[in-house]
Amino acid sequence: MDEKEIIIIAAIAIPVTLVIIVIVLFSVFSRRKNRLLQEQENAKKEFDRELAESQIEIREETLRNISWELHDNIGQLMTLAKIQAQIAKDKPEMMAEVSETIGTGIDELRALSKLINPESLKSLSLREAVSLEIERFNRLKFIAAELTVNGTEIPIEVNTQIILFRILQEFFSNTIKHSKASILKVVISYSDKELAITALDNGVGFEKDNDFMGIGLKNMKTRAQLINSVLTIDSAKGEGTALHLRYKFA
Amino acid sequence: METILKDLENIFLALYVIVFIISILKFPLYKNTPLKFLPLIFFFTILAEYLGKYLTHLGKIHLNIFVHNIYYLVHFSFFFYVFMKVIDNIRFKKYIGICLGVFLLFFFNDTVFTGIFENSFTKTYIAGAGILVVCIILYYVNILQSSQVLVIKNDLLFWVSVGLFLFYIGYIPIKIIRTWFYKPDSFFEILLIIQFSLIIIMCLFFLTGFLWMKKKS
């Protein structure tokens, strides 16, 4: 092959190669871009679905709580007030006690009305929402619950907060229903970069390889992933259960 | 043929100057990125081109060769540094580090055995260009593995890399042919037309990058 032939081949091959490279580059990058956009859209749909499900579950849990409160707390107070009022017919000095019991009932009703308000979680911060749950557990004597907040509170985006709250609510619900625990401790720690939540009980616990919480645990993990947070659940038989959640601020 | 060559040469020299001016005007948008030395590289390129012509005109061919040999070292080392900085895959970074070492070995070898004033460092140039093509491929793989691809059209380095990639893919064979098969024959001017066209295409990609870029911290 002489020099002229080499030059002719090069003169044809170089532009052809460049055109092929441009086409390949364009098609590879645009395909990858379209796939990523599709994945983002799917992730958004998944997030919206989980958010809607979380909201429904929070609402159901709230209705259940209202039912318990009406039956076990306010109902009992009203029954007591009725008995006291009947006694007060003969002993008018008892009227002060009747009034006090009714007053307590009214206070409990006010506390309950906060829970009924569908906008409550949107207007409350995560700390306030968790604090209300903890107060309720103590008031109804479900469990001895305690909340500790470290650091300066940083506002969290409403939808993310709903999902975080629902994860904790699910954990609390499992603790109360299944763990036979007497103590529940919740620690919320704010730092500049992240929010760390730890919730632990002193219940019966479970072996990690057991599918103890089943779908509930999977849901919690899926939801944690959706808001780019890391959730771990540690438990051993007889040693209680601990939830650790780390949410990085964007 | 000579008129075409002269026109193409004037166009690419003018484009180099335009790219240099725009790179300075747009400097605030990329001053915090590894590309911050890009205007210096463009300045060095223009200097090497114009000074090369002037020195050749004066008959100081050895000084011209020296300027170009130093230019190869600065130009390729700069882009290896840039790609090593922007790629976040540790394995790829290591590869580029090794490639940089290989390139410096070629430069050292040419300095010792070829002579920095005597001959153009062709082997260093071809090694540098080949390694740069590999770096750009690694950079593309890195982009495709991340979500950067969604905003890539506003990334200056992407357009600069496309320009360099197309230029070196086309120019490496030309450099090889011109170095080892050259005969004083007007037929070789076809290769010069392709070479000048490649420089023009590269500059147009640089310009696209500067015009489409968005600020990056």
CA–CA separation, A203 and A181 (whole Å): 4
Residue with tokens 């990639």: B165
- When CB atoms are compared, the residue of A3, A13, A36 closest to B150 is A36
Q: How close B154 gets to chain A, by Cα (Å)?
A: 14
Note which residues in 32-61 of chain A have CB less than 8 A from chain B: 32-33, 36-37
Q: What is the ipTM of this complex?
A: 0.78
Phi/psi for A183 (5° steps) reads -130, 140
Q: Which two tokens mark B135?
A: 């770096």
> Is residue B206 scored above 90 in pLDDT?
yes
Query: What is the Cα–Cα distance from A172 to A185, expressed in whole angstroms?
Result: 10
**In this predicted model, what pLDDT tens digit does every residue of B126-159 receive, in sequence order?**
999 999 999 999 999 999 998 888 888 899 999 9
* pLDDT exceeds 70 at position A119: no
Please report which confidence band the pLDDT of residue B163 belongs to, taking 50, 70 and 90 as the band edges. Answer: very high
Q: Please give the mean pLDDT across all residues of chain B.
A: 89
pLDDT at B171: 92
Distance CA A67, CA A95 (A): 29
Nearest Cα of chain A lies from the Cα of B170 at a distance, in angstroms, of 5
* Four-point Cα dihedral A27, A33, A34, A39, nearest 10: 150
pLDDT at A33 over 60: yes
Contacts of B185 in chain A (CB under 8 A): 3
- The pLDDT value recorded for residue B106 is 93
Chain A partners within 8 Å of B177 (Cβ): 3, 6-7, 10
Closest-CA residue of B relative to A12 is: B194
Per-residue model confidence (pLDDT) at position A213:
54
pLDDT: which is higher, B21 or B62: B21
Do A207 and A129 contact (CB within 8 A), yes or no?
no
Quote the mean pLDDT of chain A: 86
pLDDT digits (tens, 9 = 90+) for B32-49: 899 999 999 999 999 888
The residue of B139, B144, B148 whose CB has the most chain A CBs within 10 angstroms, and thus the best one to mutate to test that interface, is B144
Q: Tens digit of pLDDT for each residue in A145-165?
A: 999 999 999 988 888 888 899
Q: Distance between CA A95 and CA A97 in Å, rounded?
A: 5
Q: Do A13 and B162 touch (CB under 8 A)?
A: no
Contact at CB, A10 and B165, closer than 8 angstroms: no
pLDDT surpasses 90 at B52? no
Query: Inter-chain contact B187–A13, Cβ cutoff 8 Å?
Result: no
Domain residue spans of chain B:
2-212
The residue of chain A nearest to residue B181, with distances taken between CA atoms, is: A3
- Residue B194: list chain A partners with CB under 8 A: 10-11, 14-15
Query: Looking at the partner chain, which of B162, B169, B191 has a beta carbon nearest the beta carbon of A7?
Result: B191
Candidate from A7, A14, A37 with C-beta closest to B188: A7
Q: Do A33 and B149 touch (CB under 8 A)?
A: yes
pLDDT above 90 for A144:
yes
Q: In which band, very low, low, confident or very high, does the pLDDT at A132 lie, cut at 50, 70 and 90?
A: confident
Residue A1: per-residue pLDDT: 66
Mean pLDDT over B1-21 rounds to 86
Secondary structure class of B205 (helix, strand, coil):
helix
Cβ-defined contact of B194 to A14 (cutoff 8 Å): yes
Least confident among B12-26, B111-125, B131-145: B111-125
CA A93-A73-A167 angle, to 5 degrees, is 155
Q: Is B183 exposed, middle or buried (0-12, 13-18, 19+ CB in 10 A)?
A: exposed
Please check whether residue B187 is in contact with residue A3, taking contact to mean a CB–CB distance below 8 angstroms: yes
Cα–Cα–Cα angle for A45, A49, A55, rounded to 5 degrees: 145
* Among chain A residues, CA nearest to B205: A22
Lowest-confidence pick of A57-66, A238-247, B199-208: A57-66
Q: What is the mean pLDDT of residues A157-175?
A: 89
CA end-to-end span of chain B: 47
Neighbours of A40 (CB within 10 A): 12
- Compute CA distances A111 → A62, A88, A148, whole Å: 13, 28, 21
Domains annotated on chain A, with CATH: 126-250 (3.30.565.10)
Chain A CB contacts of B173 under 8 Å are: 10, 13-14
> What proportion of chain A, given as a percentage, has pLDDT over 90?
34
A23 inside 8 A of chain B by CB: no
* Predicted confidence (pLDDT) at residue B86 exceeds the cutoff of 90: yes
Q: Which of A3, A17, A22 sits opposite B181 (nearest CB)?
A: A3
Choose between B188 and A214: higher pLDDT. Answer: B188
Counting one residue from chain A and one from chain B, the pairs whose CB atoms sit within 8 A come to 56
pLDDT at residue A228, as a whole number = 86
CA angle, B62 then B71 then B86, to 5°: 170
**Tokens in use for B173?**
């064979």
